[in-house]
Amino acid sequence: MASPAVTLSWSLSSWLNNRSLTTRPTNECINISDKASAFVVFAQKKAKKTRKIILIEDVTDVGKKGQLLDVKAGFYRNYLHPSGMARIVTPDLIKEMKVEEERIEAEKKRVKEEALQLARIFETVGAFKVKRKGGKGKQIFGSVTAQDLVDIIKAQLQRDIDKRIVSLPEIRETGEYIAELKLHPEVSAQVRLNVFAN
């Protein structure tokens, strides 16, 4: 009498042979011996799951704000969406982003026009007069700083200017000097200064 393990293995083997023969498609023909079993695995390629998104803000190593991207679904679901950095692209969202982009472009154009207008005003004003206590010859006590120019412009033209946009040469003597004001990345104005001693 055969042991239960041998009987089980022979039964399992014959069951597998019968099973594999009955589940095969009819157009395939494979010879299988009594004691051997063959498995045929039909594998499908895993589907790539991506999402078409639009970035709402700049994301390091991913892209800039307003950029359309294809990202993996898990990256969007687990990182971008919960942190509010991106949204799935829809026709309404694309329209909304275009309107926002047009608004930003109009604002940039308006700021540049204001800077050009201010530059024209500075060039037509002439020279600003700066009084300082005089020393020997042309020497003056102290120097003329960017803050001095900002104060003079505010007093004469009622315009607030940030002193960080003012570029002045070193002024320690009386005379005429030219200062440059960087009003916009694309617009700068030159202003003349007449420095004289009291």
Domain 110-197 is found in CATH 3.10.430.100: yes
DSSP 8-state secondary structure symbol assigned to residue 27: T
Distance set, CA 173 to CA 140, 151, 169, 178 (Å):
5, 20, 11, 14
On whether the CB atoms of residues 166 and 181 are closer than 8 A, the answer is yes
CATH 3.40.5.10 in the chain, residue ranges = 50-89
Which mean pLDDT values do the consecutive 10-residue runs of the chain (198 residues) have?
47 54 50 57 72 89 89 91 91 87 94 92 86 83 88 89 90 90 90 88
* Alpha carbon 138 to its chain's center: 52
- Residue entry with tokens 């201010």: 118
The single-letter code of the amino acid at 119 is: A
Residues of the chain within CATH 3.10.430.100 domain(s) are: 110-197
pLDDT at 8: 44
Q: Which pLDDT score is estimated for 107?
A: 96
User: DSSP alpha helices (H): ranges in 24-51?
Assistant: none
Tell me the pTM. Answer: 0.57
Class of domain 50-89: alpha beta
* Residue 174, both tokens: 């009386």
